[in-house]
Amino acid sequence: MEIDLSQFHQVFYEESFEGLDTMEQELLNLEEDSDRENINTIFRAAHSIKGGSATFGFKEVADFTHVMETLLDEMREGLRPVTKEVVDLLLKSVDCLRGMLFRMRDGEDVGDEHVELINYFNELLANEIEDASQQENVFEQSVQESLKDNCEDKVWKIEFKPKSYILETGNEPLRMFRELKGFGHLEVDAHLDNVPCFDELKAESCHIWWSLTLDSEIDEAAVKEVFEWVEDDCELNIDQVPRSNDKNVDKDQLEQPQMEEISEDIKQISSETSGQKADQEEKKQTPLVELKNKKEKSEVGTNTASTASIRVGIEKVDTLIDLVGELVITQSMLSELGENFDMSKLTQLVSGLSELEQNTRELQESVMRIRMLPIGFVFNRLPRMVRDLSSQLGKKVQLDIKGESTELDKTVMEQIGDPLTHLVRNALDHGIESAEERISADKPEEGTLTLNAFHQGGNIVIEVSDDGKGIDPDVIYKKAIEKGLINDSFDTPPEQVLSLIMEPGFSTAEVVSDVSGRGVGMDVVKRNINNLGGSVEIESELGKGTTFTIRLPLTLAILDGQLIKVANETYVLPLVSIIESVPLNMAEISRIAGDMKVYKLHDDYIPIIDLKSEFEIQQDLSSSSEGLLAIVEGENRKIALRIDELLGQQQVVIKSLETHYKSLQGVSGATILGDGRVSLILDVVGLAKRASEGANRRNNKVA
Q: Give the β-pairing of 678-682 and 569-574.
A: parallel
Q: What is the DSSP string of 179-237?
A: HHHTTSEEEEEEE-TT---GGG--TTS---EEEEEEE----HHHHHHHTGGGTTSEEEE
In DSSP terms, 452 is beta-bridged to 402, 463
Q: Give CATH superfamily name and number for 1-148+251-298.
A: HPT domain (1.20.120.160)
Q: What stretches in the chain show pLDDT beneath 50? A: 1-2, 129-133, 135-136, 138-139, 143-144, 146-152, 245-260, 262-263, 265-267, 269-305, 511-512, 517-520
Range 160-175 burial, b when 16+ CB lie within 10 A, else e: bebbeebbbbbbebee
Using CB atoms within 10 Å of the CB of residue 504, give its burial: 0 to 12 exposed, 13 to 18 middle, 19+ buried: exposed
658, 647, 677: which is closest to 669 by C-alpha? 658
Question: Are residues 663 and 632 in contact, defined by beta-carbon separation less than 8 angstroms?
Answer: no
Beta-sheet strands, E only, within 425-520:
447-456, 459-466
The architecture of the domain spanning 154-247 is 2-Layer Sandwich (3.30)
Residue 326: per-residue pLDDT: 81
Range 134-151 burial, b when 16+ CB lie within 10 A, else e: ebbeebbeebeebbeebe
Contacts of 224 (CB under 8 A, 6+ apart): 231, 238
The architecture of the domain spanning 374-553 is 2-Layer Sandwich (3.30)
Backbone φ and ψ for 95, nearest 5 degrees, come out as -60, -45
Domain boundaries, the chain: 1-148+251-298, 154-247, 314-370, 374-553, 558-702
Question: Are residues 62 and 50 in contact, defined by beta-carbon separation less than 8 angstroms?
Answer: yes
Residues marked active site are found at: 47, 69, 426
CATH 2.30.30.40 at 558-702, yes or no: yes
Residue 608: per-residue pLDDT: 86
Residue 466: per-residue pLDDT: 93
